[in-house]
Chains A and B, each alone.
Chain A
Amino acid sequence: MSMNDPIARGLAAGWNITDASKLTEDRTVEADVVVVGTGAGGGTTAEILARQGLSVILLEEGRLYYQKDFQMDELTSYANLYQEGMSRATADGAIAILQGRCVGGSTTVNWTSSFRTPAETLNYWSQNLGLSELTPDAMAPWFEGREQRHNMSPWQTPPNLNNDLLRQGCEKLGYSWQVIPRNVKGCWNSGYCGVGCPTNAKQGALLTTIPGALDHNAQLFHGLRADRLVRNQDRIDHLLASAMGADGITPSGITVTLKAKHFVVAASAIGTPGLLLRSQLPDPFQRVGKRSFIHPVNATVARMPAKTDPFYGAPQSIYSDEFNFKEGTDGPVGYKLEVPPLHPAMAAGVVAGHGQQQRDNLGQLPWMQSVIALLRDGFHPDSPGGTVSLRDDGSPMLDYPITDYLWQGLKKAYLTMAEIQFAAGAEAVQAVHLDSGWYTRWSEAKTAISNLPMKPHRVRLFTAHQMGGCSMGHDPATSVVNGFGEHHHISNLNVHDASVFPTSIGANPQLSVYALAARNSTRLAQKLAPSG
């Protein structure tokens, strides 16, 4: 094992890490603060609190995977690093949910796109939702701080052809495009971000804030699932957690009781509402799990005359915001345009099909190009979002009905993406939809796509961005936490993840989570700091 790997080095140096699958008897542990989740929010929180001298315990349901495990293989990575082995979906199965389940959370498997929360979004929150302290100016230093911490900057290397074709198409049509800022250091431009960075270039939580917290004596439990926060009056007394067995999926029967002065939940926009619902915390207005947003994603694929090799090179480096806020923040739904990487299993999963037709589609992978549209949900009354609720076994699930308002946006996005691909020189374009053929001319595509039925399952939908469900706000009638992530009814409970967003972000959310968590953790650290 390489001693150049910071995780291997830290383990050798005696970081306080417990693999809960190895526990043989129930335990009770105690710290100043217990942080549930090790993704963008949890990692940031743990590092900031630990640096202030507070004792911190971090909990992660997934397992600790690092460089030795990142072998550039889709099947093992999807099975081990993603929620429900990459099979997570909305309640009716119509929207595939891509979400990390490992130390570092989704930041371990994301495609490194690092956007500030758009000013339009922050202005909407501060002007329409009463979050007046979250203006772009007030947030700027927090974005700047996190951009430094995670080494975020616009990608300097030329984009791969998959991304460059989005640029070319936009150029031709007079649409705006920009270079994506990425959180990498010494990136090899290989294209394997989604299966765990093999070169330790990605500066996600796994290689930044988690080591930062562990260097300051934080303790990390992995393979440990937070079951229930147990309340005494208006305070959380302790957290009950179950150890997962060696397979990472089945509880071993061992439980851990975690006591702390303060609890921070950062278990994602599906996991956090789930934990709060299981804990039956006061929720007089039944706000927990409501207004869940996902940036619904649809896609088109194109066959290009030149090889695109869409499996190699930085997966996301070019984007277009031409249609994101064009019709106003709260008008018809806006969408951001990006490009996905395409490896065989991902391509086979995205493009539904079977038989010779599927074989022919996948056989042209090296010439394939794809564009995705991320819809900015939650800014309009006809986009109220979804709902997280509990199954009988206590696991959380997201129900996300697609409204007509969103179907209209998805149809428009199909058309925009096809038009861009033809402008970039595509030989043929297909909407990722069960009824779409391959179209060889834009005029043909335009007519055919306009007539595609916009129905669940027939429109292939995805989400990699889960937000909301524990909305922040001043009014407990419409929110779960205040603008600092402090729970309205429980005095020693914060929520520091994407679940606090009152709408979607309108951009890949990792930097929004990092920045807000940094701001709220800095305040929490002052509140909890050892006096004197």
Chain B
Amino acid sequence: MTDQHPLPGQPDTSRRSFLKTGLGGTLLLSTISVSAGLSGCATAPAGRIGAIDSRMDASYQFQFLSRDDIALFEALLPAILAGSLPDAQNQRRQTVASTIERIDQGIVKFGPPNQRELRKLFDLLNFPPTRMALARTWSDWPSVTATDADAFLQRWRNSRIGLLNNGYVALTKISNAAFYGYADHWHLTGYPGPPAWMTESLPQFTSA
């Protein structure tokens, strides 16, 4: 998102729920997008990323995720998808990269209000002071191991603060749906896909 106006959406309710959580710092979240921008965090969409400085497919144009967001998911996906990612290093990297692309595609369709919510969440996780204070993750994401990432996810899942539970669900839901919902990974759930007797007889498949 290029428009970095701080939190036009739902100030009342998010403040209220923040207060309810007893976390104090009511305005903390609403200032993060601004501070993150000022501190040099990459909050603009990454666009096309060259194959040289990353493992991303240079033909994919990121519309929402920033370079920092991509690094965040590169750190989190090995924990979120533990047991489902391929073992071979190359294949594993490719699977993570293509899952991040599908996460980006999905978020584009979320529309502006939920994109603003996710921007707040990702900025909070990428901005070092809030990453340390709220995620309690000390190193930057590219240095975070899968074990550390898993510990972070567990902390947010088990937190007594509803807002952090919500962050956990948001991160895992968009990742799990983008991964397990993708045809190449259906077999991991035992779902055989649309029955052949349908795809072989329906016009939208046969005349494609």
Q: Which residues of A contact B (CB under 8 A)?
A: 1-2, 4-5, 67-75, 78-80, 84-85, 87-89, 91-94, 188, 190, 192, 198-199, 247-249, 311-312, 343-345, 347-349, 352-356, 358-360, 362-366, 391-393, 395, 397, 399, 434, 455-458, 460
Contacts and interface: CB of A to CB of B under 8 A. Distances in A.
Contact of A354 (B111, B176, B186): B176
B interface bracket (residues with beta carbon within 8 Å of A): 35 or more
Nearest to A92: B17
B123 to A, nearest CB: 17
Nearest to A453: B160
B38 interface: no
A71 B204 contact: yes
Nearest to A79: B109
A458 B189 contact: no
Given A87-B106, A347-B180, 20 more contacts: A67-B202, A72-B199, A73-B183, A75-B106, A75-B182, A87-B174, A89-B114, A93-B169, A199-B198, A344-B180, A348-B176, A352-B169, A352-B173, A354-B81, A354-B157, A359-B82, A359-B188, A363-B188, A365-B190, A365-B191
B80 interface: yes
Given A1-B207, A92-B13, A395 B109 contact: no
Nearest to A77: B181
Interface in B19-52: none
Interface of B: 8-11, 13-14, 17, 79-84, 102, 105-114, 117, 150, 153, 157-158, 162, 165-166, 168-170, 172-183, 185-186, 188-191, 194-195, 198-199, 202-205, 207
A199 B199 CA distance: 11
A84 B177 contact: no
Prevailing SS type, chain A contact patch: loop
A198 B202 CA distance: 8
B176 A75 contact: no
Contacts of B8: 391-393
Given A79-B106, A249-B111, A362 B162 contact: no
A397 B179 CA distance: 28
A71 B194 CA distance: 9
A79 to B, nearest CB: 4
Given A249-B111, A393-B113, A94 B162 contact: yes
Nearest to A89: B114
A356 B110 contact: no
Nearest to B179: A348
